[in-house]
């Protein structure tokens, strides 16, 4: 999973994790669920747009869309090693002048987080205990599109996350995963003026793109 800005249990998003993530991305490209979200965004057009990527880890979405002509990206993450890996990759690609890095939890950050045309949270909501604060804040920053990858509302998914949490507890880590109800996420997005415009699924993940223009007048 990508880093997400969780205070408790953040030790799993360390340098080793960041190095593994960037090496896997360089070898294999984006993970399947991320690729689906990217395709949704590309279908809407990203050239010249701005992106706010919350909990974006090593910056896979940022690197991909900057290559496609995105105007500017802001990557927010609470893992310093992940941000370092993202910065190095942007430098390697010659895109460092078009991406800004913010270190910290976006909900608790004292640094102003400006709106962007596109806001993404790729496998972030499942890391964050306070879903209402995270979704309300991030959705309010989306001028046009709001893209999420989050666990599906399925019993097997919830059981799987419980098993993952037991494993982390056994290993002595504080990290926990959360299966927040999709209807709550949809309702919070709707409160911010966004409605689902396109949705796809893998066995585990729900990939959904919300559109501000899809909201009723």
pLDDT in tens, 106-117: 998 888 899 999
- In whole angstroms, what is the distance from residue 167 CA to residue 148 CA? 26
Q: DSSP letter for 193, please.
A: T
Can you give the pLDDT at residue 3? 34
Q: How far is CA 58 from the centre of its chain?
A: 11
Provide the domain count of the chain.
1
Question: Does a structural domain hold residue 147?
Answer: yes
Question: Does a structural domain hold residue 99?
Answer: yes
- In whole angstroms, what is the distance from residue 199 CA to residue 206 CA? 7
Q: DSSP letter for 79, please.
A: -
pLDDT band at 6 (very low <50, low <70, confident <90, very high): very low
Query: With 90 as the cut, is the pLDDT of residue 141 above it?
Result: yes
Can you give the pLDDT at residue 69? 97
What CATH number is given to the structural domain containing 77?
Answer: 3.40.50.150
Name the token pair of 163: 């098993």
The DSSP code sequence of 8-45 is TTGGGSSHHHHHHHHHHHHHH-S-HHHHHHHHHHHHH-
Can you give the pLDDT at residue 41? 98
Give me the domain span that covers residue 45.
10-152+181-212
- In whole angstroms, what is the distance from residue 130 CA to residue 144 CA? 24
Can you give the pLDDT at residue 11? 66
What is the reported pTM? Answer: 0.91
Q: Which of 44, 101, 90 is nearest to 67 (CA)?
A: 90
- In whole angstroms, what is the distance from residue 212 CA to residue 189 CA? 10
- In whole angstroms, what is the distance from residue 149 CA to residue 205 CA? 6
Spell 163-193 as b/e; 16+ CB within 10 A means b: eebeebeeeeeebbbbbbebeebbebbeebb
Please give the order of strands across the beta sheet that includes 50-54.
Answer: 99-103, 72-77, 50-54, 116-122, 142-151, 205-211, 195-201
Question: Does a structural domain hold residue 111?
Answer: yes
Question: Does a structural domain hold residue 167?
Answer: no
Can you give the pLDDT at residue 5? 36
For the chain, the average pLDDT equals 91
Question: Does a structural domain hold residue 115?
Answer: yes
Question: Does a structural domain hold residue 168?
Answer: no
Question: Does a structural domain hold residue 165?
Answer: no
Spell 131-153 as b/e; 16+ CB within 10 A means b: beebbebbbbbbebbbbbbbbbe
Question: Does a structural domain hold residue 204?
Answer: yes
């Amino acid at each position: 999973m990508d880093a997400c800005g969780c205070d408790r249990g953040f030790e799993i998003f360390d340098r080793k994790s960041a190095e593994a993530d960037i090496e896997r991305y360089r070898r294999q490209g984006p993970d399947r669920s991320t690729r689906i979200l990217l395709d949704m965004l590309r279908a809407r057009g990203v050239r010249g747009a701005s992106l706010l990527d919350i909990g974006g880890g090593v910056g896979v979405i940022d690197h991909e869309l900057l290559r496609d002509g995105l105007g500017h990206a802001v990557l927010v993450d609470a893992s310093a090693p992940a941000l370092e890996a993202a910065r190095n990759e942007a430098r390697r690609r010659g895109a460092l002048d078009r991406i800004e890095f913010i270190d910290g939890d976006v909900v608790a950050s004292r640094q102003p987080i400006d709106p962007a045309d596109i806001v993404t949270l790729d496998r972030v909501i499942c890391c964050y205990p306070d879903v209402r604060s995270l979704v309300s804040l991030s959705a309010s920053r989306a001028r046009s599109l709001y893209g999420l990858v989050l666990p599906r509302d399925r019993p097997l998914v919830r059981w799987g996350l419980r098993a993952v949490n037991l494993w982390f507890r056994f290993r002595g880590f504080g990290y926990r995963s959360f299966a927040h109800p999709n209807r709550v996420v949809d309702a919070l997005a709707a409160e911010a003026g966004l409605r689902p415009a396109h949705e796809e699924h893998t066995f585990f993940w729900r990939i959904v793109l919300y559109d501000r223009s899809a909201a009723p007048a």
